[in-house]
A = this chain, B = another copy of it.
Amino acid sequence: MSEKIYTVGQLAAHTDIKSVTIRYYEKIGLLPEATRSESGYRLYSEADHLRLLFIRRSRRLGFSLDDIRELLSLADRQQESCAGVDAKVEQQLEQVRSRLKDLHAMEKELERLSACCEGGVIMDCRIIDTLSGET
């Protein structure tokens, strides 16, 4: 049996990544240039499909497109050590944890603010006071 071939819209439907985004990924070199039909439509192979899924999974883990570019290039070098990959994951984990820490602090402070509002007018609003620097 021959391989499945996708138009950009079909690929989009299969990957939950919009056509425009797919074209954008091609433009920045994250996806190879698609082959074209006679009328100029982009045509994608199963390999492209898999590559795009890889990108999507990585995006969902919060990797930047530049990180993903590197991960993809690492993934292609089958014989080399995977230390680079491991390091990238480690680094991403650190970044996520640091962001978590920040957001946790924000959450606490917003909860505190939220609790101290008692529904009066601005003049007496403890939230505005706090933001204005009564600390």
Query: Which residues on A are within 8 Å of B, measured CB to CB?
Result: 50, 53-54, 57-58, 60-62, 71, 74-75, 77-83, 85-86, 89-90, 92-93, 96-97, 99-100, 103-104, 106-107, 109-111, 113-114, 117, 119-125, 127-128, 130-133
Contact = CB atoms under 8 A, between A and B. Distances in A.
A40 to B, nearest CB: 30
Contacts of A111: 93
B61 A106 contact: yes
Copies in the complex: 2
Contacts of A96: 103, 106-107, 110
Contacts of A50: 132-133
Contacts of A128: 71, 74-75, 82, 85
A122 B76 CA distance: 8
A106, A113, A133 — most chain B CB neighbours (10 Å)? A106
A123 B79 contact: yes
B99 A103 contact: yes
B85 A54 contact: no
